[in-house]
Amino acid sequence: MKISLIIPCYNEEDALLPLYEELFRVTESMSDFEMLFIDDGSKDHTLKIIKELSSSDERVKYISFSRNFGKEAAMYAGFCNSTGDYTAVMDADMQDPPSLLPEMVKILEGGEYDSVATRRVSRKGEPRIRSFFSKLFYKIIRKISDTDIVDGARDFRLMKREMVDAIVSMCESNRFSKGIFGWIGFKTYWLPYENVERVAGKTKWSFFGLLKYSIDGIVGFSNTPLKIASWSGIFFTFVALIMLIVIFVRTLIFGDPVAGWPSTICIMLFIGGIQLFSLGIIGQYVAKIYNETKKRPHYIVAQSNKEDVVKK
Ligand code: UDP
Ligand code: MG
């Protein structure tokens, strides 16, 4: 049973050695094991350290991108190039505890499940404001998307070959893995664990980075914003019709004293705002369509110690 472990790394020079040591320890019992480090265009010594590891341990493989393409692209490159019967994705910062791996393998070997996914039951150590917005995002996306997206779910999961093949076949360029995992289905066992803080370095996500990512997730897995735009259009047309009738009747009865321009301006501004908002929503989807139609590669490989690297 071969196990591939995909590790996306972006500027993780301080985290790599502790991670490798821990992995070395927990995978002792696994006979056929490979670590596939994806260097996502790091600007520090990440690639150098990975290369050193690979020269002393032939289980270490790496693919290095020509620039930073983002974690989603790194994970996709990993899936496209993983050869194991079981494949897992794991963060380089040890926030996905390597010590869970043997247990995950055992559960998959039980045969009942196709994947073992992990879920943080606490967000201890994370900035309050980030937890608040994360929770809000999950609440919203779970309401408006048909896909099962679990709150607190990590990208850290171990999957059977069939599942990896399904992920590779989903070749959209706006990738949102949590949605993709839910969309493809399969039987998943959820393994809860307490949040762990990163071993070294700091998070690569800024507030706006996360905001953009969550909009990608919503646009990628729900059409509800478009429906909101059309429903608000219908609603305001209806309101306008009623107002028209009211004003018409009032003019017939009371005559036409000129008054009420402030309210007119307010209504115009309000409707104008709603129109631009709706256009913006449509624009988001159009932008995504535009991106998809360009069919650009997901990532560009600059170096690797793997023969025939799969490029997508
Ligand atoms: N990562 C990556 N490319 C990026 C940003 C992050 O490959 O552009 C990797 C990073 O090296 C780490 C994982 O994705 O292994 C998760 O990143 P991070 O710990 O910054 O995210 P957080 O845990 O704060 O959500
Ligand atoms: Mg992290």
pLDDT digits 0-9 by tens, 154-185: 899 999 999 999 999 999 988 999 899 989 98
Q: What is the pLDDT of residues 110-161, one digit of tens each?
A: 889 999 999 988 877 778 888 888 889 989 988 888 888 888 888 999 999 9
Q: Are residues 53 and 182 located together in one domain of the fold?
A: yes
Residue 249, pLDDT > 90, answer no
Q: Are residues 192 and 289 located together in one domain of the fold?
A: no
Which comes out higher in pLDDT, residue 125 or 81? Answer: 81
pLDDT at residue 278 in the model? 87
| 241 Cα to the center of ligand 2, angstroms | 53
Which pair of structure tokens corresponds to residue 181?
């995992």
If one counts every other C-beta atom within 10 angstroms of the C-beta of residue 167, the result is: 23
Query: Is position 218 within any domain?
Result: no
pLDDT band (50, 70, 90) for residue 270: confident
Residue whose C-alpha is closest to residue 157's, from 92, 109, 91? 91
Q: Are residues 189 and 230 located together in one domain of the fold?
A: no
Integer Cα distance of 272 and 68 in angstroms: 39
Pocket test for ligand 1, best of 71, 176, 216 (most atoms within 8 A of CB): 71
**pLDDT (average), residues 66-73:** 93
pLDDT > 70 fraction of the chain, expressed in percent and rounded: 99
Q: Are residues 197 and 255 located together in one domain of the fold?
A: no
Burial class of residue 115 (count of CB atoms within 10 Å of its CB; 0-12, 13-18, 19+):
buried
Q: Are strands 2-9 and 86-89 parallel, antiparallel or unpaired?
A: parallel
**Range(s) of the domain holding residue 282:** 224-294
Q: Which residues surround ligand 2, an ion (CB under 5 A)?
A: 91, 93, 95, 198
Return the sign of the alpha-carbon dihedral for residues 100, 101, 102, 103: positive
Query: Is position 212 within any domain?
Result: no
Query: Is position 46 within any domain?
Result: yes
Q: Are residues 125 and 175 located together in one domain of the fold?
A: yes
Query: Is position 14 within any domain?
Result: yes
**pLDDT (average), residues 78-102:** 92
Query: Is position 311 within any domain?
Result: no
Q: Are strands 60-65 and 301-304 parallel, antiparallel or unpaired?
A: antiparallel
pLDDT > 90 fraction of the chain, expressed in percent and rounded: 43
pLDDT at residue 264 in the model? 84
Q: What is the pLDDT of residues 226-243, one digit of tens each?
A: 888 888 888 888 888 888
Q: Are residues 196 and 238 located together in one domain of the fold?
A: no
Residue whose C-alpha is closest to residue 83's, from 166, 171, 2, 170? 2
**pLDDT (average), residues 31-52:** 93
pLDDT at residue 129 in the model? 86
Total number of domains in the chain = 2
pLDDT at residue 169 in the model? 94
Query: Is position 312 within any domain?
Result: no
pLDDT at residue 246 in the model? 86
Q: Are residues 278 and 139 located together in one domain of the fold?
A: no
Residue 40, pLDDT > 90, answer yes
Q: Are residues 143 and 289 located together in one domain of the fold?
A: no
Q: Are residues 142 and 245 located together in one domain of the fold?
A: no
Look over the chain and give the mean of its residue pLDDT values, rounded to a whole number.
89
Nearest CA to ligand 1 atom 22: 203
pTM of the model: 0.85
Query: Is position 183 within any domain?
Result: yes
Q: Are residues 170 and 232 located together in one domain of the fold?
A: no
Q: Are residues 13 and 142 located together in one domain of the fold?
A: yes
Residue 39: φ, ψ to 5°: -85, 110
Output the domain CATH number for residue 38. Answer: 3.90.550.10
| 71 Cα to the center of ligand 1, angstroms | 6
Query: Is position 216 within any domain?
Result: no
Q: Are residues 241 and 106 located together in one domain of the fold?
A: no
Q: What is the pLDDT of residues 9-22, one digit of tens each?
A: 999 999 999 999 99
Burial class of residue 61 (count of CB atoms within 10 Å of its CB; 0-12, 13-18, 19+):
buried
pLDDT at residue 275 in the model? 87
Contact 145, 46 (CB under 8 A): no
Integer Cα distance of 134 and 211 in angstroms: 9
